[in-house]
């Protein structure tokens, strides 16, 4: 019997009202490991109703008691981190150490949310006008929907849910249908931590579930992470339905290597940033811009390191696992064909590479192109696989212009020994997250994560201070408590500060 993954509504597993479902695969074997229910509109209704019903009590639960739940959740997640990592590897395919890293980055957001008491403070101004005090407060928004992608099945839900919950909201999570089990494990841990039933719900499914959330009158906020076309659609649709929305999209992350860079460090970074998680990271390096005369030496060092990579089953101590589905593997392989046809120089061909894994797995080895031109589809499109392109630039200015002309602006990195050049780059580049000699500059939990341009729709980034801003509404109270003065002091003029 194949395992059946159901929704999680009202603090417990919940069967679907519909009979639609999808298959979940073990990407390292190609075998179906489970089926996942696809929610109908009525399933989404039940989940949102459960969240709505739980909301007032959770909102009115003291910050102290909410924080205690978060601390317990933090302890449980830390204790079960290896279990969560195993679940991720079994459905996503990334190697176990990488899955463990994902859980760790999610845990950091939980730890940040444990500071709810400090984060939710308002401001107070005594005597703003004579005898008049003003204070501001932060209140939860209501029901928050979280729609997450396949590539971080635990970390992306953990970017959002802990802060939404800390702020007093209730949550409906719609994880990717490709690797839905991590979300169910998180739901169990929330329940074990003592989170009241209905504050954290999970519905599985596809566009039907997403559309039902985006248009539901009882959903107040939507946090989305996924590809750019869907992010744009989610932003537009949910905004039209009166919700606040943050929709994080795709990426093409450039790593600029200046002539004075330490080329060994840069080559290590290009290989780690390009092929970690098989390139299925929104912060993966997909384009290396080598500022001449370093390109030949850099390409040689990168390809030498690629020859050392062990590709195989993520449970076998390999460096890189399979891609998430057969269809995605085939799509990425099509880009390799397109790069060859367009005239890029194929330095390392990952097609047909030997792997330490089942022949039925969704394999594609690390692939390197040199002399890539900006017009080629391997450069213009987000491939989201283990395909790294090297472009050659004659100057810093040419490299910068290339990065800034790209439609995406998620992450970028510069490799140099020149602090002045790095400082100039971080100032001039139109990208939301910048690394200086750091290839994958994912901000720590107390900063916020978000790209620019087609990498983010909305104005508020994920987690950190922006996360608190997104999940709260501010209210400003102006009050006067004056001693009783006999007679009337009626005045119809506009209130001014005196």
Count of Cβ atoms closer than 10 Å to residue 246 Cβ: 25
Q: Which of 36, 183, 282, 400 is catalytic?
A: 282
Integer Cα distance of 225 and 228 in angstroms: 9
Least separation in angstroms between residue 230's CB and ligand NAD is: 4
Which tokens belong to 13? 């597993």
- Rule CB under 6 A: choose which of 35, 61, 227, 239 binds ligand NAD: 227
Q: Is 282 in the site for ligand NAD (CB under 6 A)?
A: yes
- Residues numbered 399 to 418 that lie near ligand NAD (CB under 6 A) are 410
Integer Cα distance of 352 and 357 in angstroms: 13
Distances (CA, A) of 419 to 114, 165, 426, 432: 36, 41, 11, 20
Q: Is 225 in the site for ligand NAD (CB under 6 A)?
A: yes
- Rule CB under 6 A: choose which of 24, 77, 147, 422 binds ligand NAD: 147
Q: Is 378 in the site for ligand NAD (CB under 6 A)?
A: no
Count of Cβ atoms closer than 10 Å to residue 430 Cβ: 13
- Rule CB under 6 A: choose which of 38, 55, 112, 150 binds ligand NAD: 150
Helix (H, G, I), strand (E, B) or coil at 206: coil
Q: Is 382 in the site for ligand NAD (CB under 6 A)?
A: yes
Using the contact rule CB under 6 A, the part of the chain among 11-19, 172-180, 252-260, 362-370 near ligand NAD is 172-180
What is the end-to-end Cα distance of the chain in Å, rounded?
A: 76
Which tokens belong to 479? 């009050």
Percent helix, strand, coil in the chain (nearest 5)?
Answer: 40, 25, 40
Backbone φ and ψ of 137, nearest 5°: -135, 160
- Rule CB under 6 A: choose which of 140, 149, 350, 361 binds ligand NAD: 149
Distances (CA, A) of 136 to 124, 247, 293, 364, 475: 6, 27, 57, 54, 5
- Rule CB under 6 A: choose which of 37, 84, 163, 210 binds ligand NAD: 210
Q: Is 282 a catalytic residue?
A: yes
Which of 249/386 has CB closer to ligand NAD? 249
Which of 67/406 has CB closer to ligand NAD? 406
Count of Cβ atoms closer than 10 Å to residue 292 Cβ: 12
Dmax over CA atoms of the chain, in Å, equals 93
- Rule CB under 6 A: choose which of 207, 310, 351, 423 binds ligand NAD: 207
Which of 156/285 has CB closer to ligand NAD? 156
User: Under the rule (CB under 6 A), what is the footprint of ligand NAD?
Assistant: 147-152, 156, 174, 176-177, 206-207, 210, 225-227, 230, 248-251, 282, 382, 384, 410, 451, 455
Catalytic residue positions? 282
């Amino acid at each position: 019997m194949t395992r059946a993954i159901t929704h999680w509504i009202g603090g417990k597993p919940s069967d679907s009202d519909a009979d639609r479902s999808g298959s979940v695969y073990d990407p390292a074997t190609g075998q179906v490991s489970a089926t996942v229910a696809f929610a109908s509109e009525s399933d989404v209704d039940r989940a949102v109703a459960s969240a709505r019903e739980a909301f007032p009590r959770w909102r009115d639960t003291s910050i102290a008691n909410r924080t205690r739940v978060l601390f317990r959740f933090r302890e449980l997640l830390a204790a079960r981190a290896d279990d969560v990592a195993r679940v991720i590897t079994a459905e996503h395919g990334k190697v176990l150490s990488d899955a463990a890293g994902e859980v760790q980055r999610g845990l950091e957001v939980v730890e940040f949310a444990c500071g709810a008491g400090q984060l939710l403070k308002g401001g107070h101004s005594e005597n703003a006008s004579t005898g008049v005090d003003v204070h501001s407060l932060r209140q939860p928004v209501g029901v928050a929907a979280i729609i997450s992608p396949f590539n971080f099945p635990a970390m992306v839900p953990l970017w959002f849910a802990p802060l939404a919950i800390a702020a007093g909201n209730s949550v409906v999570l719609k994880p990717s249908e490709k690797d839905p089990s991590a979300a169910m494990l998180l739901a169990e841990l929330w329940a074990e931590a003592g989170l009241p039933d209905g504050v954290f719900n999970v519905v599985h499914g596809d566009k039907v579930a997403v559309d039902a959330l985006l248009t539901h009158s009882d959903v107040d906020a939507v946090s989305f992470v996924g590809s750019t076309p869907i992010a744009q659609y989610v932003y537009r649709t949910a905004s039209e339905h009166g919700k606040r929305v943050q929709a994080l999209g795709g990426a093409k992350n450039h790593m600029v290597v200046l002539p004075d860079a330490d080329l060994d460090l840069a080559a290590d970074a290009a290989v780690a940033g390009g092929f970690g998680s098989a390139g299925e990271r929104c912060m993966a390096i997909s384009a290396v811009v080598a500022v001449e005369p370093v390109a030949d030496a850099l390409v040689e060092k990168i390809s030498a390191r690629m020859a050392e990579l062990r590709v195989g089953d993520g449970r076998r101590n390999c460096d890189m696992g399979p891609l998430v589905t057969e269809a995605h593997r085939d799509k990425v392989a099509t880009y390799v064909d397109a790069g060859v046809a367009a005239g890029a120089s194929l330095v390392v061909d990952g097609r047909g590479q030997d792997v330490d894994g089942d022949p039925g797995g969704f394999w594609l080895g690390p692939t390197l192109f040199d002399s890539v031109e900006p017009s080629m589809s391997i450069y213009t499109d987000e491939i989201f696989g283990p395909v790294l392109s090297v472009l050659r630039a004659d100057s810093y200015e040419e490299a910068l212009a290339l990065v800034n002309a790209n439609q995406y602006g998620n992450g970028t990195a510069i490799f140099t020994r020149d602090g002045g050049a790095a400082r100039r780059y971080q100032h001039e580049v139109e990208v939301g997250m910048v690394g200086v000699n750091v290839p994958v500059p994912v901000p720590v939990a107390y900063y916020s994560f978000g790209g620019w341009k087609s990498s983010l729709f909305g104005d508020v980034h994920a987690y950190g201070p922006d996360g608190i801003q997104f999940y709260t509404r501010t209210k400003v109270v102006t009050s006067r408590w004056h001693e009783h003065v006999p007679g009337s002091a009626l005045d119809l003029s506009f209130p001014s500060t005196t």
